[in-house]
Amino acid sequence: MTWVYPGSLWGFILAGFLIAAAYLVRRRTRLSLKAIGRDSVEWQVRAFLRDLSMAAFMVLVILAMAEPRRGREPISGESYGLNIAVAFDISRSMLVEDVNTSRLDRGIAVLSQIIRTLEGARFSLIPFKGNAAIKVPMTEDRVILNSWIDRLGPGLATTAGTNLEIALREASESFPSGVGRSKIILLITDGESLTGNIGHAARNLIQEGIFVHAAIAGTAEGGPIPLDDGTYVADESGRPVVSRADFKVIEQLVDETGGSVHDLGRAGAAAELLQAMRKDLEFAESRGISFTGVYRYRMYLLPSLLMLLLNLFARIIPWRRR
């Protein structure tokens, strides 16, 4: 289970303040009632139950707001052909030479092979670092694609960081509306230091029925990050910073959206990636089925409504007097 809006969980702080304030008010009211001799067990039980149910309501409704999600469900929809948005990581860590000859070159080689092999497929190209922009709109034109692929590198953008959320959003916006083609995002990255709300991005992809196939360039052992002058990026003590490929975030993303993850350091990874993309295409075309996300918020919203009901009952149920 993952949370699409984990930021909503900050609401627990507000809920904590409300619960504490309600407790203090209850104590003060009890003292006032004591003064007039009406501090009964009935009142205490009702007050406790009402505050407890309201506290439970707050917790549950905040969890529902955070939008828990798991799994996908099929929906019908005809399609033909493939539209592939290529989100290509051009951060400096892609220059690390822990795979032959560098992560960037390996990614470019795989992308070129895919573009060459998947005839009839349309591609858009979205290089990304701290920001992302569509450099080539969804097109079948291999000439423009190849000319942009030759230019891929850290020099193409000046923003620092590797914001995967923005990259995925731009990639999903590069699919033209009204075109009945299967939608795939091909993510080429080393997976290192990815930022942005990836859960949020995944939610939108699931909603649009977009699969993510990821090609991860780099190794867990990693390597130093080369600079243009032949030296390496160093930390404050002067030691070279080691960049390591990170599969975890990408595997989690693909687990939610559907698709596949491929380690470009392994032999045959490019062929497997191609095979996976072809399989998606055949599945969508032959069965007319795509997938959408399944919402799990009801598992928290329903109990929160029951807590509201308990709150009401704690107030109105008559107290049996002896």
322 forms part of the interface with another protein (CB under 8 A): no
Measured CA to CA, the distance from residue 175 to residue 84 in angstroms comes to 8
Out of 13, 41, 267, 316, the residue judged to bind another protein by CB under 8 A: 316
Query: CA angle, 291 as apex, 60 and 193 as ends, to 5°?
Result: 70
78 forms part of the interface with another protein (CB under 8 A): yes
Amino acid 257 reads T
Binding to another protein (CB under 8 A): which residues in 111-150?
A: 119-120, 124, 134, 136-144
* Contact code string over 280-299 relative to another protein, x by CB under 8 A: ---------------x-xx-
- CA-CA distances (angstroms) from residue 101 to 29, 93, 94, 197, 218? 74, 13, 11, 32, 11
Task: Of 120, 44, 106, give the one whose Cα is nearest residue 314.
Answer: 44
Which is it for strands 136-139 and 162-163: parallel, antiparallel or unpaired? unpaired
77 forms part of the interface with another protein (CB under 8 A): yes
SS3 sequence, 69-80? EEEEEEEECCCC
Contact 168, 200 (CB under 8 A): no
Compare residues 28 and 239 and give the one whose CB is closer to another protein.
28
Compare residues 133 and 234 and give the one whose CB is closer to another protein.
133
Binding to another protein (CB under 8 A): which residues in 35-74?
A: 36-38, 42-43, 46-47, 50-51, 54, 57-58, 61-62, 64-65, 67
Compare residues 34 and 239 and give the one whose CB is closer to another protein.
34
Q: Is the peptide bond before 162 cis (omega within 30 degrees of 0)?
A: no
Out of 2, 93, 102, 304, the residue judged to bind another protein by CB under 8 A: 304
DSSP symbols for 56-114:
HHHHHHHHHHT-EEEEEEEEE----SEEEEEEEE-SGGGG--SSSS-HHHHHHHHHHHH
79 forms part of the interface with another protein (CB under 8 A): yes
Write down the least CB distance from residue 48 to another protein, Å.
8
Write down the least CB distance from residue 154 to another protein, Å.
24
Compare residues 140 and 221 and give the one whose CB is closer to another protein.
140
Measured CA to CA, the distance from residue 16 to residue 20 in angstroms comes to 6
Out of 10, 27, 29, 116, the residue judged to bind another protein by CB under 8 A: 29
Task: Of 250, 88, 84, give the one whose Cα is nearest residue 156.
Answer: 88
Give how far the C-alpha of residue 19 lies from the chain's centroid of Cα atoms, to the nearest Å: 32
Compare residues 54 and 215 and give the one whose CB is closer to another protein.
54
Write down the least CB distance from residue 158 to another protein, Å.
20
Q: Which residue has the tokens 């009211």?
A: 29
> Contact residues for another protein (CB under 8 A)?
5, 18, 21-22, 25-26, 28-29, 33, 36-38, 42-43, 46-47, 50-51, 54, 57-58, 61-62, 64-65, 67, 77-81, 119-120, 124, 134, 136-144, 174, 176-180, 207, 295, 297-298, 301-302, 304-305, 308-309, 312, 314-319
